[in-house]
Chains A and B, each alone.
Chain A
């Protein structure tokens, strides 16, 4: 119990994953959904770094992969916020249930 192993980190990542899925399922605000996506990506990162630490011999590939995930998450957040701003300009709300037509 006192020796922290791989399993402990994986359980924390599972909590992050389930919280992110819950946020994505229940929030109507587009930015809130984006926050859920960030949580899921963070859980993947914790998994990657924990596997890298405990299972990988050289111990660097997982960190590089997590680095790329962080870069992709930043890019995705930038594009998504731009889309949300555009969405708000068209519909004057960012309730995702209002987005019912294409080319509004």
Chain B
């Protein structure tokens, strides 16, 4: 598998590059050089004008743009998932198919991005994309409540927790921990073999009665089932969350004081 993504680029640090003291003539109010904020960093690294955002702001801008895109696609996907159960009887849902292939392509690309990026911050951004696209898959499967929960809990909670973990556990957020080449190739070969064999196995499998006839369950039904049939696991999950809260606070405390 490729390891070339960060091969030549150095660890980047946030902030505008400072004008060197003796180098170029320093104007009082430096005009903008005309390069946009999304121009590659190597183009404006030597430039002293103050109009370039730092690396962290670039990452934030990209995340914001991705979030807006995901939200827009999510609305369309939710509508398609709602109507898919109704339309499927008469005609194959073309919108559903197009959306599914778009989302699936995005999932594959973002999973490759997670696998091939070296810095943890980039991995977190790609993971953000992957989790959002998986939420879109839930919308397409007419599980709208699960999609919303995925967006709220995973993207809004767990991923932010991971980013906090990255922030707390590295001196530089762009620090890299590289593994050996043979490990990379070995893991790549094993995972590719696993993927191909899984796909072959899926191609040979025969499922009994595969048709989606239900137009998705309403949210009220989930609440009813959660409090009647699954009330014991529900309570156990509550106890587990309480224990986790206490345990995490205990584990992460400062023992020196």
Contact = CB atoms under 8 A, between A and B. Distances in A.
Interface in A10-59: 10-12, 14-19, 21-23, 25-32, 34-35, 38-39, 42, 45-46, 49-50, 52-55, 59
Interface residues on B, range: 35 or more
Interface stretch (B19-27, B43-51, B62-70, B103-111): B103-111
Interface stretch (B5-13, B31-39, B209-217): B209-217
A64 B177 contact: no
Interface stretch (B53-61, B71-79, B181-189): B181-189
Contact of A49 (B143, B153, B214): B143
Given A35-B124, A60-B221, A23 B115 contact: yes
Given A22-B115, A49-B138, A53-B212, A59 B170 contact: no
Contact of A31 (B120, B150, B183, B190): B120
Contacts of B214: 53, 59
B217 A63 contact: yes
Contacts of B186: 25
Contact of A16 (B107, B183, B222): B107
**A-side binding surface: helix, strand, loop or mixed?**
helix
Contacts of B190: 21, 25
Contacts of B210: 5-6, 54-55
Interface string B239-257: 0110011011101101000
Nearest to B96: A4
Contacts of A45: 134, 146, 150
Residue from the set A27, A49, A63 with the largest chain B CB neighbour count within 10 Å: A63
A75 B240 contact: yes
Interface of A: 1-12, 14-19, 21-23, 25-32, 34-35, 38-39, 42, 45-46, 49-50, 52-55, 59-60, 63-64, 66-68, 70-75, 77-79, 81-89, 94-95
20 contacts: A4-B97, A6-B210, A7-B203, A11-B104, A12-B104, A19-B114, A22-B187, A23-B123, A27-B123, A35-B127, A53-B142, A54-B211, A59-B214, A60-B221, A64-B226, A70-B146, A75-B244, A81-B162, A81-B248, A86-B251
Given A17-B198, A21-B194, 18 more contacts: A1-B97, A4-B140, A6-B207, A9-B137, A16-B130, A18-B194, A19-B114, A25-B183, A25-B190, A35-B127, A35-B162, A49-B143, A49-B146, A67-B226, A70-B154, A81-B248, A82-B248, A82-B252
